[in-house]
Amino acid sequence: MTKPERQIDWAMAREMFRRAFRTSFHYGIATVDEDGAPHLTPIGSVLLNDPGRGIFFDIFSSQLSQNLDRDPRVCVMAVDSGKSFWLASLIRGRFTAPPALRLTGTAGPRRPATPSEQQRWLRRVRPLRRLKGHQLLWGDLTHVRDLIFHTALPVQLGTMTSNLETQAAARQAEGDPADGHPLNHHTA
Ligand SMILES: Cc1cc2nc3c(=O)[nH]c(=O)nc-3n(C[C@H](O)[C@H](O)[C@H](O)COP(=O)(O)O)c2cc1C
């Protein structure tokens, strides 16, 4: 039997997603093809909201969108690719924060984006606003999909991440509300 994995709290998941965007500029969204084959798409515009909730702008995709219309299941992966984060962790021999995270859940139907959703994304890419590509990529943010997640599992890297597991277990044993199972309300 495999060891049960420990979910991380939503604040930590959001922080992980911020780091991943800063260093990787995209997340991997896995969906399922018509024939059951896995399909992976790079998507930069994932925005996490309340616990277990998020959106992404569904603008350029084709296969991803078709897959989700047929089968809403998704797995979203975020990786911190920061060179200094990795170098410091390698020198130390352990990670002080998860190097990667997988969120699993479902995506809703493609729907018109609200002005506040559009503004939220435009704030994120504001430093790039004077560049030619800004308008080409984000000038027409018409549609989003809602994301609902039921698990948030950090990626394990042997002894380099075992200290994070131990810390999370200790916090949970002490009943620290910052390390509960914040996605439970979606799975109850
Ligand atoms: C770094 C990166 C970020 C991207 N972000 C988005 C995005 O937020 N929304 C979108 O609709 N397409 C985005 N794309 C474009 C899709 O990944 C691209 O159109 C892809 O070919 C869609 O593939 P699929 O629908 O066949 O899976 C991004 C591409 C890259 C390389």
* Each residue's pLDDT tens digit, 109-157: 999 999 999 999 999 999 999 999 999 999 999 999 999 999 999 999 9
Which atom of ligand 1 approaches the CA of 62 most closely? 25
pTM above 0.85, yes or no: yes
Task: List the domains of the chain with CATH numbers.
Answer: 10-187 (2.30.110.10)
| 10 Cα: distance to centroid of ligand 1 (angstroms) | 25
CA-proximal residue: ligand 1, atom 4 (nearest): 43
26-60 pLDDT, tens digit each? 999 999 999 999 999 999 999 999 999 999 999 99
CB of 43 closer than 6 angstroms to any ligand 1 atom: yes
Cα torsion 63, 16, 133, 43 to 10°: value is: 0
